[in-house]
């Protein structure tokens, strides 16, 4: 099989817990590109916060905000803001239950409280810099959202309509954070639209991920890999299981397919 496109999650897939990546990961990406594979970053992170990493890895195509926004070589393929009415409902639920929210736009990460200890911890873990306090004036610009300081049992509070599910963040120290995922706007839906745009069948597409926000993506490609450090439930959605992020998982997976040497 000749593979044409590769989708890579960031946290727990490209990046290790210490925010660095292995030499083998960078080598794998470089080899894949040299062999004619288009490489995408596919992350829950906001687009504005991944540019430094993208530049280091010489990647210029992206899926960000868990599929709410996608770019293929400077062309916007997906741009799906959330319904502002739903955004306001999320904020009310958070207030009632002493949770916090980070609501992402193209320009800023808007928090309901910038000084809450868990917010500060979350920002430190993900090295978020473009932060501001949320105001209702930006409610119609929100592309993605994460609930913070929440126990797993409370996640269903935010599943206020059938189209919404919550996904626990699969990063050490941030397991009390849950991404709000739309079932019709997610990494998998973005992958499908990108493949249609560039005319590549799913059989020639590869994806790597480690969190439950990756489950749709792994099923939207022909070769879906779950990292060994993945959330336990993700393995049922993946065709392959590779080694961990700290043990050359991307490199070993691509080598298994013959994409790299």
Task: Look up residue 86 and give its two tokens.
Answer: 């739903």
Tens of pLDDT along 111-160?
A: 999 999 999 999 999 999 999 999 999 999 999 999 999 999 999 999 99
d(CA 100, CA 32): 40
What is the pLDDT, as a whole number, of residue 133? 97
- Write the pLDDT tens digit of every residue in 2-41: 999 999 999 999 999 999 999 999 999 999 999 999 999 9
Using pLDDT thresholds of 50, 70 and 90, give the confidence band for residue 244.
Answer: very high
- Pair 152, 200: CB distance under 8 Å: no
Give the pLDDT band of residue 75 (cuts 50, 70, 90): very high
45-66 pLDDT, tens per residue? 999 999 999 999 999 999 999 9
Average pLDDT over residues 194-220: 97
For β-strands 69-72 and 75-79, DSSP reports them as: antiparallel
- pLDDT score at 261: 86
- Which candidate, 209, 213, 199, 212, places its Cα nearest to that of 240? 209
pLDDT given at position 192: 98
Mean pLDDT of 202-219: 98
Question: What integer is the mean pLDDT of 194-221?
Answer: 97
Please determine, for residue 1, whether its predicted confidence score (pLDDT) is greater than 80: no
Q: What is the pLDDT of residue 74?
A: 87
* Domain residue extents for the chain: 5-80+185-257, 84-182
118 vs 93: CA distance, rounded Å = 18
**CA distance between the termini of the chain:** 15
Residues 246-250, mean pLDDT to the nearest whole number: 97
- Pull the structure tokens for residue 79: 């741009």
Note whether 27 and 251 are within 8 A (CB). Answer: yes
Give the count of beta carbons closer than 10 Å to the beta carbon of residue 127.
Answer: 12
Is the separation of the CB atoms in 11 and 168 below 8 Å? no
Tokens at residue 97, please? 């239950």
User: Which CATH fold would you assign to the domain 84-182?
Assistant: 3.30.1240
Q: What is the mean pLDDT of residues 151-172?
A: 95
**Strand arrangement of the beta sheet that strand 109-111 belongs to:** 131-133, 109-111, 100-104, 144-148, 177-182, 164-168
Mean pLDDT, the chain, integer? 96
Q: Taking a C-beta distance cutoff of 8 angstroms, is the pair 173, 11 a contact?
A: no
Domain made up of 5-80+185-257: CATH architecture:
3-Layer(aba) Sandwich (3.40)
Give the tokens for residue 138.
Answer: 């930006």
Share of the chain above pLDDT 90, in %: 97
Q: Is the pLDDT of residue 43 over 90?
A: yes
CA–CA distance, 219 with 223 (Å, rounded to integer): 8
């Amino acid at each position: 099989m000749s593979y044409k496109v590769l989708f890579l999650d960031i946290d727990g897939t490209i990046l290790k817990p210490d925010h660095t990546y292995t030499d083998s990961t960078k080598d794998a990406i470089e080899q894949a590109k040299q062999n004619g594979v288009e490489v995408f970053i596919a992350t829950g992170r906001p687009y504005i916060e991944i540019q430094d990493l993208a530049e280091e890895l010489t990647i210029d195509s992206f899926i960000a905000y868990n599929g709410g926004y996608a770019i293929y070589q400077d062309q916007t393929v997906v741009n799906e803001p959330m319904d502002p009415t739903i955004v306001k409902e999320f904020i009310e639920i958070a207030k009632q239950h002493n949770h916090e929210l980070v609501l992402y736009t193209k320009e800023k990460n808007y928090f309901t409280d910038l000084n809450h200890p868990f917010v500060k911890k979350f920002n430190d873990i993900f090295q978020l810099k473009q932060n501001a306090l949320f105001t209702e004036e930006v409610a119609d610009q929100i592309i993605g959202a994460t609930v913070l300081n929440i126990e797993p049992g409370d996640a269903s509070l935010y599943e206020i309509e059938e189209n919404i599910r919550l996904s626990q963040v699969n990063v050490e120290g941030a397991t009390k954070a849950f991404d709000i995922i739309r079932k019709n706007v997610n990494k998998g839906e973005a992958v499908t639209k990108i493949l249609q745009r560039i005319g590549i069948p799913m059989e020639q597409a590869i994806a790597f991920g480690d969190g439950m926000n990756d489950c749709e993506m792994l099923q939207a490609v022909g070769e879906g890999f779950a990292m060994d450090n993945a959330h336990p439930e993700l393995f049922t959605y993946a065709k392959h299981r590779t080694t961990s992020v700290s043990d050359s998982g991307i490199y070993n997976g691509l080598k298994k397919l013959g994409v790299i040497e």
